[in-house]
Structure 1
Amino acid sequence: MDARLLCFCLAASSALLWPRLPAWPWALLPLVMLLALLTMSGRWRGGVAALCLGLLWMQGSLLLRLGWLDELPAGHAVTIEGTLLRQERAEPDFTRLLLRLDRLGTQQRWPAPLIQISAYRPLPEWPTGSHLILSVALKPAHGLANQAGWDGRRSLLGKGILATGSLRAVMAVTPAPSHWRDRWLEAAERAWQGLATAPLLRALVFGEQGGISREQWDLLRGAGLTHVIAISGQHIAIATERALIMVLLWSLLRQLRRDWPGWRIWLWAFAALVLWDPWALWSAGFWLSFLAVALLLVAGLIWGRPNLWRIQWLMMLGLLPLQLMLFEGVAPLALLLNLLLLPLFALIIIPCGLVAGLLAPLGGAGLLFWLADALLGHVMQLLAWLDAGARLWWPLPAEGALLCIPLLLAFTAWRLPGGRWLLLPSVGLMGLALWPSPERVEISVLDVGQGLSVVISKGERAMIFDTGDRYPGGYNMADAVVLPRLRQRGVRIIDTLIVSHKDRDHAGNRAALLTALPVRRELSSHPFGPLTHPCMAGQTWRWSGVEVAVLWPPQGGWRGPSARNNNSCVLRLAGAGWSLLLPGDIEAPAERELVRRHGAGLASTVLVSAHHGSRTSSTPAFVTAVSPDLVIHSAGFQNRWRFPRPEVVARVEAAGARQWVTGVVGEVRLTAGDKGLDIRVEREHGPWYRRSGAWWKPALWLE
């Protein structure tokens, strides 16, 4: 039984690695035929049959759940009807709605998918379960795609969210009767009103995490305590589907008086959750929780009855590779802080909060909430003090997991009886992880949504041209994209930071980069501070074998129309067999002047289009003078300005150049070689759900 369950789970999990979503009948039919042959031969209970069932379940489920995305009208509003599941107010003028989609246009949807709608306007508080009719602009689930940083699309799919959009109009609302939980929460909020840690209490008791600040999340992450906040409130909140399935499975085994080994229960739980919710496989929490339970089972095999210290050590080591791959960082003090603080949470803070939550509608909860608030306040003060002195969270590139895995294998080989044979592959893997790679200049045009950031790096040094955007809610491209990319490349020093001009989508993270890493020199067309040097035409320098020249603005600046955009720094980089032109946000007047001054001297192998492909830039004369082989438009996916504009795309196509949009294809990496540039596009590689274009559409395996 265990082998068959393992085969089913492995086959289902392989969906994370499929290069394409297989189409019927080319992929499904052979599996059905094989399963029929196994049934006819009496071998339908074997491992091969379990593999076929796992593949069939995932293929059929994904095709059924994703097919409706073909009906979304790109760039146009559509009327939807849905049931409100959650409403989060991040700011006074920004609300996020989670809906179960019941009807798209006139079509009923089954199974009803989840969609996430962003409203950039004040909205009233609607009760959970309300029926909404909205006009929205919808697009398939999308996220930034860079070699380093957070995978937004995978995160959305892990929550079962298949499409996102923006609210155009509220057409009708049928409020649901006030839910008993909503009334309970209102009573609790009256009881903890004015307490400093009220957002944390709201999360601990009711599982509502929207009010927790980014700074608080960072401290909890560095202490390894995010799991406490993430699961505690579910004790009296509406039970989640995954937790409910686990409880039902355990209760069934107890009722049947089955004394199953831990591994069998683990495999049954895994299979049951995948059958109920296939999107669980894309959830980081799913893998962290199941791996944590597996490590507890391993601890029992190694030590029999392990003490808490050994379990914590094994948990930290065992979860480290997955943590690095998912979150690109480690919390070195998490082990010690968990040993010190978990008893405080488990014995006092959480029980006080839960009992107070139960008493809230009856009154008398204030004292218990006050005690929990006082202890939580001291905990957060302690974490802030430790973070100021020792940095609780240490960012590390995901590639560190390649070194952690052989170390973990070596530890397992040393402790398990008869496991010494694992030492040989672990040593081999460690050698591959530590094998030095040749240092080459690499240019990354990052996927930063609607904005621009280009990283030119070699070894531990880098130049950066623009920094991407920073948003009012705290989300920013420094933490999400730029800094993870620098860490992944091992960059320790920024030799030159060039901020082309003042616009936020180019300069939004300037201060963050100046704080995060040593910056030897800063150039900009805007005088941000006393240490900012003006960029002016005629400046040149050599960096790691690359010739860098500033072509614009002229000395004294451009004083014509659209001065801020047209004063953008324009750089040209040239190496052996390649050249790159970075024109910032210049528009037609500056382009005409550049053509007049430099003419054929503008010619470059690669052009990052001016102003993200705006119709006010990329004039015919400028494109002809640059004569690029490749044009990269740094623009957001289905952005509201429709960048790059169709006329610009047509103009570049007529010039015979290839062109990519970062919002569509993700990060574009250009590696300097002996014969020019080697080009790698992020969404041309990896599994099906990270691909560009209609990633949800089934295709032949080799297409």
Structure 2
Amino acid sequence: MRCAILGLVAGAALLQNQASLWPMPILLLLLLLSLISFVFTCKLDHVAIRVACCLLGGAIAGFAWAGLYAHYHLSHELPKEWEGRDVTLVGTVDSLPSSMEQGVRFNFAVETVVEPQDAAKAIPPRLALSWYTAFRPEELQAVGKVLPGERWQLTVRLRRPHGNANPYGFDYEVWLLEQNLRATGYVRPDANTRHKNQRLDTFVVSPRSIVERSRGWLRERILDALPDKDYAGVIVALVIGDQRSVNQSDWQVFNRSGVGHLISISGLHITMIAGLFSALAFSLWRRSFFTDLDLPLLLPAQKAAALAGGCIALMYVSLAGFGVPAQRTLYMLSVVALALWVGRISAVSHVLCTALGLVVLLDPWAVLWPGFWLSFGAVGILLYATVGRAQSHSMAQQTCMGKTFLSLKAASHTQYVVTIGLVPLTMLLFGQVSLISPIANAIAIPLVSFVVTPLSLAGSVLPSPLSAWVLGCAHLIIESLAGVLAWMSAFPSAVWTAPLSSWPAFMAALIGTLWMLAPRGWPVRWLGVAGLVPLLIARPTHPDDGQAWVTAFDVGQGTALLIETPHRRLLYDTGPAYSSESDGGNRVILPYLKARGIDTLDAMIVSHSDNDHSGGALSILREIEVKKLMSSLPASHSIVTQSSQHEHCLAGQQWEWDGMQFEMLHPSVENYDNAKLKPNGRSCTLRIAIGSQSILLAGDIEAPQETDLLRLRGEELRSTVLLAPHHGSGTSSTKAFLNAVQPQLALFQVGYRNRYHHPKTEVFERYASLGIERVRSDDAGAVSIVFNGNNNGDAVTWKEYRKEHARYWYGH
């Protein structure tokens, strides 16, 4: 059974890496064949053959099951012809709403389509909606107070699921698929619709509505009791698993110190609470609740305790939103409780594998998320490392001091095993390991798990003012702990970083780790350290001599490109700011740089002040070293004041990196002196020559600036690759300018269905009429370009992320 479950996980993981889904009839046939094969496998006598057959049969079943699951979810897709059309719906709010500066976000379960009637079969059953206070300046509107379980009539404008597609970035599209949210959209203002947006019912009873309303009630109680408290969001996360209120700066501290796993409803918290209620139920049941009912004669106290613990665990996991760590713990506790009820003692490995199989059966996409592998990996490595370590401690157990010593020794060994055992996986997934994690966790685990969490749970349900006192005490402890963790994480050596490991390096590290943690009696276990060396000393990759790499990120409606020479790196623009805490810098660019092991930029250019070009700059300046900033921003701008060295872009500036020529073509002194000129007109325009090839980064210059460049530079503008000026707007990319540049490839960094309608159809076709290859980031995702200098073969090659990393959910 365990081999079959491991095969099931492998098969599901294989399916999630497919570019397209196999037809449903074939998947059904595979699933049937795998089930038949299990029947015959059970009759095999040869152990090795039976194990191999179980693994293969499980893999086929996992592949087929995950494929059928995906077919079902994709069948609810919003048809393309319904994108951008207004639809009036009636449905219920079936998630905990998330507040933002511009309004509120929530999931909406559709019940009926009011208008137009022909949309009834086209609208998916669940939608991800945003209700903005002002989607456009001229559309100011009041946003309703949305609560889980309410029934609303809303007029919405929808689009198909789409997210930014970048190497090492978060895949929003598959996350939506996992949640069965097959369309996203926003609520239209009443002034622009025939039907008024209105609440129809205050509460519609359903299991999901009850759970989500309860979560919302608890969140409001906590936030009301802790107004304007810095760590109120942490208390919320510990009680209901909603991490959205935790500040990004706090997450940085928690992650650097290695305690991020505690800032939510973790498996440890669920086990602790379930165990506490189980022990209480056992004690009361044995005493028949101090009555004469003789309850243990009706049901053994152990079974009553197991039932109570299981129910509490289910309730707590529901509050957590059924995250993978919470699911894993719930299923493991449930299997143990079931084994107790039927009178069979299960091995820990059987319990773990059963939980593993249940998670993948109920959510085949769980294998895509780091939490899945870290959660099960931690338990698995503990099981492996404790084999053969049981010892007789009868003498030590005779005294209180002996018991204390053994407890401390066991806790220390557990922390050591988890810290060392997860190094290969952590480096593979995140490219960093917290060196202060053992100390930080030794402090944080007992405080958070045994003090803060119980206080937070109690305070969230106690009546006022007692709730405020208890929650205030929990907040004080978290605040003090965060201060200690911030101090520890500020040390330069707090975190070991390296590029994301290759599979060979990961396998070597895994073997080395297993060798080090092998059971007692294994020879020279310290030799396992050698397996970690390749993974820990890996250095960032870089272009060969004469080469240059350009990565044009998919940041939505905005611009961001990374230019790499053999020994230098330059970032041109930083993408937009999506909200006060989310921008192209921390959501797209920094994850890519950290995954590559890049912690320094030799230069960063912010072409001009518009949000879609400068929005991520502050995040980058806070996180990594930027040796020099160049921009057209005024000296008082916050980006300039945060930089260590700033220089205005100015036509005529030139420098050389690794034999490659960089020249600033625009703006001029006159452009800075012209107060009437828009920021677009001052865009830093950079040309980079790599041997006989070149790339022209034109920012948001428009037709007047193009005319000036033609007059001053003429044929010097010729470039192999052109970043389309102003995202292909109707005010740029004149025919004369394109004839002068004569690019082989044009990059259009635009957002999917952006409200500016960039690139304009006539402009996009103008490029095509001149024989220029066109690549749009909303279709291609990130674009990676390689310049091979003077090589006359494939001098310039490029790859589109959505094609190179094709997945079956792209394009749906």
The correspondence for 2:107, drawn from 70, 85, 98, is 98
**Aligned residue number for residue 298 of structure 1:** 384
SS at match of 2:656: strand
Structure 1 residues 301 and 244: alpha-carbon distance in aligned structure 2, compared to 1, 3 A threshold: closer
**Aligned residue number for residue 665 of structure 2:** 551
Structure 2, unaligned runs of 5 or more: 45-52, 134-141, 190-195, 204-209, 274-314, 392-408
Structure 1 residues 535 and 649: alpha-carbon distance in aligned structure 2, compared to 1, 3 A threshold: same
State whether residues 82 and 132 of structure 1, in contact with CA within 8 Å, keep that contact through their aligned partners in structure 2: yes
Q: Please show how residues 115-154 of structure 1 align to structure 2 within 5 Å.
A: 115-121=127-133, 123-154=143-174
What CA distance in whole angstroms lies between the structure 1 residues aligned with 2:506 and 2:447? 31
Structure 1 residues 534 and 428: alpha-carbon distance in aligned structure 2, compared to 1, 3 A threshold: closer
What CA distance in whole angstroms lies between the structure 2 residues aligned with 1:452 and 1:331? 33
**Aligned residue number for residue 86 of structure 1:** 95
Structure 1 residues 113 and 394: alpha-carbon distance in aligned structure 2, compared to 1, 3 A threshold: farther
State whether residues 632 and 661 of structure 1, in contact with CA within 8 Å, keep that contact through their aligned partners in structure 2: yes
**Aligned residue number for residue 224 of structure 1:** 258
State whether residues 460 and 491 of structure 1, in contact with CA within 8 Å, keep that contact through their aligned partners in structure 2: no
What CA distance in whole angstroms lies between the structure 2 residues aligned with 1:247 and 1:342? 21
For the pair 1:173 / 2:185, whether they are aligned, the reply is no
**Aligned residue number for residue 582 of structure 1:** 697
Range with bigger deviation, 664-673 or 394-403: 394-403
* 1:453-503 per-position Cα deviation (integer Å, ceiling 9, x unaligned): 111113452122222223442112222232333344454543333222221
How far the C-alpha of 1:38 sits from its partner, in A, is 4.7
How far the C-alpha of 1:176 sits from its partner, in A, is 3.5
**Aligned residue number for residue 467 of structure 2:** 365
How far the C-alpha of 1:66 sits from its partner, in A, is 0.9
**Aligned residue number for residue 3 of structure 2:** 3
Count of matched residue pairs: 691
SS at match of 2:130: strand
What CA distance in whole angstroms lies between the structure 1 residues aligned with 2:424 and 2:130? 34
For the pair 1:277 / 2:363, whether they are aligned, the reply is yes
Range with bigger deviation, 47-56 or 430-439: 430-439
Structure 1 residues 55 and 438: alpha-carbon distance in aligned structure 2, compared to 1, 3 A threshold: same
Letter in 2 for 1:85: D
* 1:384-440 per-position Cα deviation (integer Å, ceiling 9, x unaligned): 333344475666432378645422311313543798899999969949995987634
For the pair 1:387 / 2:386, whether they are aligned, the reply is no
State whether residues 158 and 282 of structure 1, in contact with CA within 8 Å, keep that contact through their aligned partners in structure 2: no
Structure 1 residues 421 and 4: alpha-carbon distance in aligned structure 2, compared to 1, 3 A threshold: farther
For the pair 1:624 / 2:739, whether they are aligned, the reply is yes
The correspondence for 1:680, drawn from 787, 791, 799, is 799
Structure 1 residues 157 and 228: alpha-carbon distance in aligned structure 2, compared to 1, 3 A threshold: farther
What CA distance in whole angstroms lies between the structure 2 residues aligned with 1:186 and 1:28? 46
Range with bigger deviation, 627-636 or 665-674: 665-674
How far the C-alpha of 1:625 sits from its partner, in A, is 1.9
What CA distance in whole angstroms lies between the structure 1 residues aligned with 2:523 and 2:155? 63
SS at match of 1:252: helix
Letter in 2 for 1:206: I
State whether residues 89 and 96 of structure 1, in contact with CA within 8 Å, keep that contact through their aligned partners in structure 2: yes
Structure 1 residues 31 and 103: alpha-carbon distance in aligned structure 2, compared to 1, 3 A threshold: farther
SS at match of 2:787: strand
Letter in 2 for 1:642: H
**Aligned residue number for residue 478 of structure 1:** 585
**Aligned residue number for residue 61 of structure 1:** 69
How far the C-alpha of 1:579 sits from its partner, in A, is 1.2
Range with bigger deviation, 453-462 or 145-154: 145-154
How far the C-alpha of 1:268 sits from its partner, in A, is 1.6
* 1:227-265 per-position Cα deviation (integer Å, ceiling 9, x unaligned): 222116876654545365554433322222222222222
Q: Percent identity?
A: 28
**Aligned residue number for residue 398 of structure 1:** 500
SS at match of 2:668: coil
For the pair 1:601 / 2:706, whether they are aligned, the reply is no
Letter in 1 for 2:9: C
For the pair 1:75 / 2:194, whether they are aligned, the reply is no
SS at match of 1:51: helix
**Aligned residue number for residue 243 of structure 2:** 209
What CA distance in whole angstroms lies between the structure 2 residues aligned with 1:343 and 1:42? 47
SS at match of 2:751: coil
What CA distance in whole angstroms lies between the structure 2 residues aligned with 1:195 and 1:537? 49
What CA distance in whole angstroms lies between the structure 1 residues aligned with 2:421 and 2:120? 45
Structure 1, unaligned runs of 5 or more: 697-703
For the pair 1:350 / 2:453, whether they are aligned, the reply is yes
State whether residues 671 and 681 of structure 2, in contact with CA within 8 Å, keep that contact through their aligned partners in structure 1: no
How far the C-alpha of 1:42 sits from its partner, in A, is 8.4
TM-score by length of 1: 0.87
Bigger Rg, structure 1 or 2: 2
**Aligned residue number for residue 446 of structure 1:** 553
How far the C-alpha of 1:32 sits from its partner, in A, is 5.8
Range with bigger deviation, 219-228 or 111-120: 111-120
Range with bigger deviation, 585-594 or 170-179: 170-179
The correspondence for 2:756, drawn from 633, 641, 644, is 641
What CA distance in whole angstroms lies between the structure 1 residues aligned with 2:122 and 2:85? 23
State whether residues 703 and 733 of structure 2, in contact with CA within 8 Å, keep that contact through their aligned partners in structure 1: yes
State whether residues 451 and 636 of structure 1, in contact with CA within 8 Å, keep that contact through their aligned partners in structure 2: yes
The correspondence for 1:669, drawn from 775, 784, 792, is 784
* 1:166-199 per-position Cα deviation (integer Å, ceiling 9, x unaligned): 3324734233439566555555555445655333
How far the C-alpha of 1:609 sits from its partner, in A, is 0.4
**Aligned residue number for residue 700 of structure 1:** none
SS at match of 2:763: helix
Higher relative contact order (CA 8 A, sep 6+): 1
The correspondence for 2:231, drawn from 197, 215, 218, is 197
What CA distance in whole angstroms lies between the structure 2 residues aligned with 1:671 and 1:614? 27
How far the C-alpha of 1:56 sits from its partner, in A, is 2.0
What CA distance in whole angstroms lies between the structure 2 residues aligned with 1:127 and 1:226? 29
SS at match of 2:753: coil
Structure 1 residues 280 and 133: alpha-carbon distance in aligned structure 2, compared to 1, 3 A threshold: farther
* 1:32-78 per-position Cα deviation (integer Å, ceiling 9, x unaligned): 67459759978899524433322221111110111221525233344
Structure 1 residues 513 and 245: alpha-carbon distance in aligned structure 2, compared to 1, 3 A threshold: closer
Range with bigger deviation, 413-422 or 286-295: 413-422
State whether residues 572 and 581 of structure 1, in contact with CA within 8 Å, keep that contact through their aligned partners in structure 2: yes
How far the C-alpha of 1:309 sits from its partner, in A, is 1.9
Range with bigger deviation, 287-296 or 516-525: 516-525
How large is the RMSD of aligned CA atoms in angstroms? Answer: 3.7
**Aligned residue number for residue 409 of structure 1:** 511
* 1:74-102 per-position Cα deviation (integer Å, ceiling 9, x unaligned): 33344444431334444343311123444
State whether residues 509 and 535 of structure 2, in contact with CA within 8 Å, keep that contact through their aligned partners in structure 1: no
**Aligned residue number for residue 394 of structure 2:** none
* 1:583-632 per-position Cα deviation (integer Å, ceiling 9, x unaligned): 11011111122223333322211111001111111122222222211111
How far the C-alpha of 1:680 sits from its partner, in A, is 2.0
State whether residues 317 and 408 of structure 1, in contact with CA within 8 Å, keep that contact through their aligned partners in structure 2: no
